[in-house]
């Protein structure tokens, strides 16, 4: 009786409850197979608590069974009685079993302890649905299976120890060990037969310590678990070992030990492909939250199979092992601090100061280099100026403020020798000195040489100030304009001829522009004719008539455009109301074949449900749009030729915006250079080799001067975008 009372008090004392209050609270009962302090289960529970702490509506109670140390039938009977007394007035939303022992305890005592709560297991390595049938719990059990990486770990061991001769596998005789045993036996069938395998399930830590106290080359231990030793002869229970005892054995082993979970990494194990126990707990907690919030189906069964390749640097070094590059995504523990890490503080300071020092050094070097370069450039400039001044056909002379000659070029000597035989002062006094005086002001002089040849010079004079040497004076330029004066007389005689030439040039310019504008229709006519020539095999049929009609359409349009062009030159055109959508479609029909045979796709996007009416010159607008589309085509073909574009594309978007009809024409022929972008509408400016520079200029005149609209151009990510805005026609407003 005293034992039963003490047992009940013990389990009441070990009931550890964490309450997190929230609206619509969900209650979870966790039954842990092991005692408080058992690291494996404690890590799972702690990570679950951390996950639940973010959900204030979940309360969690924990019961510890202490199954490893005592699990006799009588003990389990007293335990179920104690739980029955504690839980009779409690109602939970979920019962969670940590490992096999708690799971089977819950199944066997479900009818006694619980009502209809669902069950969720964590950490088991095997699940058998048929085991639920005797308890009628087929639809009640969910859980997360823990799958240890047995085969992959053995492969990693072989990579790290290429000449592996003997591998010891340690797996205790517990219920969990039995589950893992099935997986181990399957794996052993696939292992290299040249490797000797010793599978240990029955032993004690003392025997294992003694067995592995001597180093043997090319041998390794694969440690699965060893929480339970051999059965005791007196109690017939297995000896239960603490984590600290197992860690002591692993750390003291004379041959490398590889493990399957994170418990003994940093405690003596060499490494392995590991299950992170804390992450397992967190993963399970998320599954539980989903089930409580009806986000997961019941039963929910999932296998946790996230692994990390973790190795202890000190152990790898001590056993003179080398991590194979075939093992990916490796994390190394206890790796020594590198020089960089050790002196990070000083390196960071140096990293901050180094750019400043480099900058100062570069500035100093640059200043020295600039001084040297400037001195060299100055000397070169002086020499260049001498050559330049001497190469100028005009005579140049510098005088200070007192009239004294400072310098002159070689042409000045030639000028002086014409009249004064090299006497510079006399020449200046007679012809230049009084140039700035009002009563002597003149702009040219006439000289005759000894052969009576007549020379005419223009005179220009300017003051200068030398800020460096604080000097001032005048510069006089005497340009020989004899030929110009003589040619002027000839120009007067040929004035009528020049005027006639000017008229012819203007006419040529007009016809050149017309030829430029009609290039696209002429190409269309040629293309249609070629199609007709290549495809017609007999008498004219409907298709032939269609070709003929298209040719006539092109010819008629060419004639009409010529008339429109003449009307544009002579301001006598008549305005009319027309539909923008229809105008764009008609314009594109003209160049449809040209675009087709140049593999250029044209997309016209418009609102077909409404008309966009404007008041203006329809044919001239068509000609303007044709200019832009033609330029877009040329840009695309050049881009394709330069392999910058694979498929030509022109998008024409038509829409209304703030009482305006707007037309956006976008092509993917590449962006226009910034310096060119500002000049595209200038007269006679063209980037094409054979361009006249009149097309876009005329387009701007038509849109802005004759139709009171606006036109602009900008770059997009794929190419140029031309935007035309025309005021929508309002029938209530008289034009």
pLDDT digits (tens, 9 = 90+) for 195-235: 999 999 988 899 999 999 999 999 999 999 888 877 665 55
Size of the chain, expressed as the number of residues it contains: 735
CA distance 173 to 167: 19
- CA proximity to 606, closest of 622, 634, 585: 585
* Partners of residue 398 on adjacent β-strands: 407, 475
Domain boundaries along the sequence of the chain: 2-146, 392-491, 504-727
CB-hemisphere CA count at 13 Å for 46? 10
pLDDT digits (tens, 9 = 90+) for 25-46: 889 999 998 888 888 899 999 9
- Per-residue confidence band for 543, with pLDDT thresholds at 50, 70 and 90: low
Q: What is the CATH number of domain 504-727?
A: 3.30.565.10
Q: CA angle 491-495-501, nearest 5°?
A: 110
CATH fold of 392-491, please?
A: Beta-Lactamase (3.30.450)
Count of CB atoms situated within 10 Å of the CB of 597 = 13
Residue 142's contacts (CB-CB under 8 Å, 6 or more residues apart) are 118, 119, 120, 121, 287, 291, 296, 298, 299, 300, 301
- Per-residue confidence band for 434, with pLDDT thresholds at 50, 70 and 90: low
Q: Check whether 295 has a pLDDT greater than 50.
A: yes
Q: Look up the pTM and report it.
A: 0.46
* Residue 571 vs residues 509, 564, 631: alpha-carbon distances, Å: 19, 11, 26
CATH fold of 2-146, please?
A: Rossmann fold (3.40.50)
User: For the purposes of burial, counting CB atoms within 10 Å of the CB of 396, is it exposed (0-12), middle (13-18) or buried (19 or more)?
Assistant: buried
pLDDT digits (tens, 9 = 90+) for 72-102: 788 888 888 999 899 888 889 999 999 988 9
Domains 392-491 and 504-727 share a fold: no
CA 515 vs. chain centroid, Å, equals 47
CA distance 110 to 115: 8
- Cβ atoms of 648 and 670 within 8 Å: the answer is no
Higher-pLDDT residue of 491 and 653 is 653
- Cβ atoms of 255 and 221 within 8 Å: the answer is yes
pLDDT digits (tens, 9 = 90+) for 547-606: 666 666 666 666 655 554 444 344 435 788 889 988 898 888 778 878 888 889 999 998
């Amino acid at each position: 009786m005293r034992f039963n009372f003490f047992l009940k008090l013990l389990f009441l004392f070990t009931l550890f409850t964490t309450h997190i209050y929230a609206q619509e609270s969900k209650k979870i009962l966790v039954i842990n197979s092991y005692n408080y302090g058992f690291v494996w289960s404690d890590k799972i529970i702690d990570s679950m608590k951390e996950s639940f702490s973010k959900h204030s509506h979940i309360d969690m109670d924990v019961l510890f069974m202490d199954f490893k140390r005592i699990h006799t039938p009588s003990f389990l009977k007293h335990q179920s009685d104690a739980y029955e007394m504690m839980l009779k007035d409690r109602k939970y939303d979920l019962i969670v079993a940590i490992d096999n022992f708690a799971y089977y305890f819950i199944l066997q005592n479900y009818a006694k302890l619980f009502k209809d709560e669902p069950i969720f297991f964590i950490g088991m390595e095997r699940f058998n649905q048929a085991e639920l049938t005797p308890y009628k719990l087929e639809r009640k059990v969910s859980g997360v299976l823990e799958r240890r990486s047995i085969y992959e770990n053995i492969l990693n061991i072989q990579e790290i120890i290429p000449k592996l001769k003997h591998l010891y596998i340690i797996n205790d005789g517990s219920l969990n060990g039995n589950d893992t045993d099935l997986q181990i036996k399957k794996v052993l069938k696939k292992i290299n037969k040249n490797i000797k395998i010793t599978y240990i399930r029955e032993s004690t830590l003392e025997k294992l310590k003694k067995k592995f106290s001597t180093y043997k080359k090319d041998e390794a231990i694969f440690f699965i678990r060893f929480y339970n030793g051999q059965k005791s002869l007196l109690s017939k229970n297995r000896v239960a070992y603490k984590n600290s005892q197992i860690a002591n054995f692993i750390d003291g082993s004379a041959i490398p030990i590889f493990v399957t979970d994170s418990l003994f990494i940093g405690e003596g194990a060499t490494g392995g492909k590991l299950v992170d126990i804390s992450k397992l707990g967190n993963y399970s907690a998320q599954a539980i939250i989903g089930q409580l919030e009806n986000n997961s189906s019941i039963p929910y069964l999932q296998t946790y199979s996230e692994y990390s390749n973790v190795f202890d640097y000190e152990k790898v070094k001590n056993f003179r092992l080398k991590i194979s590059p075939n093992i990916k995504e490796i994390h190394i523990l206890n790796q020594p601090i590198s020089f960089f890490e050790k002196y990070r503080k000083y390196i960071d300071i140096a990293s901050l100061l180094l750019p400043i020092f480099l900058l100062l050094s570069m500035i100093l070097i640059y200043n020295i280099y600039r001084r040297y370069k400037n001195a060299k450039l100055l000397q070169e400039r002086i020499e260049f100026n001498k050559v330049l001044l001497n190469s100028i056909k005009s005579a140049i002379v510098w005088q200070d403020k007192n009239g004294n000659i400072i310098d002159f070029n070689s042409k000045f000597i030639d000028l002086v020798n014409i009249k004064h035989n090299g006497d510079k002062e006399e020449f200046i006094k007679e012809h230049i000195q009084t140039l700035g005086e009002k009563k002597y002001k003149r702009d040219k002089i006439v000289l005759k040489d000894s052969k009576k040849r007549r020379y005419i010079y223009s005179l220009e004079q300017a003051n200068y100030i030398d800020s460096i040497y604080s000097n001032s004076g005048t510069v006089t330029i005497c340009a020989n304009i004899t030929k110009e004066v003589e040619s002027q007389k000839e120009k007067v005689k040929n004035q009528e001829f020049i005027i006639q030439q000017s008229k012819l040039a203007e006419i040529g310019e007009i016809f050149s522009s017309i030829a430029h504008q009609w290039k696209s229709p002429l190409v269309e006519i040629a293309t249609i004719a070629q199609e007709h020539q290549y495809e017609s095999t007999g008498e004219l049929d409907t298709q032939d008539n269609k070709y003929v009609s298209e040719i006539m359409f092109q010819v008629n349009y060419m004639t009409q455009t010529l008339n429109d062009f003449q009307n544009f030159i002579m301001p006598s055109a008549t305005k009319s109301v027309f539909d923008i959508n229809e105008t764009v479609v008609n314009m594109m029909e003209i160049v449809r074949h040209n675009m087709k045979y140049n593999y250029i796709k044209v997309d016209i996007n418009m609102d077909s449900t409404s008309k966009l009416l404007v008041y203006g010159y329809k044919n001239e607008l068509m000609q303007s749009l044709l200019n832009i589309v033609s330029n877009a085509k040329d840009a695309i073909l050049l881009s394709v030729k330069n392999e910058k574009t694979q498929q030509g594309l022109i998008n024409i978007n038509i829409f209304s915006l703030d009482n305006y009809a707007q037309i956006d024409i976008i092509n993917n022929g590449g962006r226009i250079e910034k310096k060119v972008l500002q000049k595209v509408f200038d007269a006679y400016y063209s980037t094409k080799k054979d361009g006249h520079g009149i097309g876009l200029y005329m387009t701007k005149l038509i849109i802005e001067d004759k139709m009171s609209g606006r036109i602009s151009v900008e770059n997009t990510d794929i190419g140029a975008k031309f935007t035309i805005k025309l005021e929508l026609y309002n029938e209530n407003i008289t034009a």
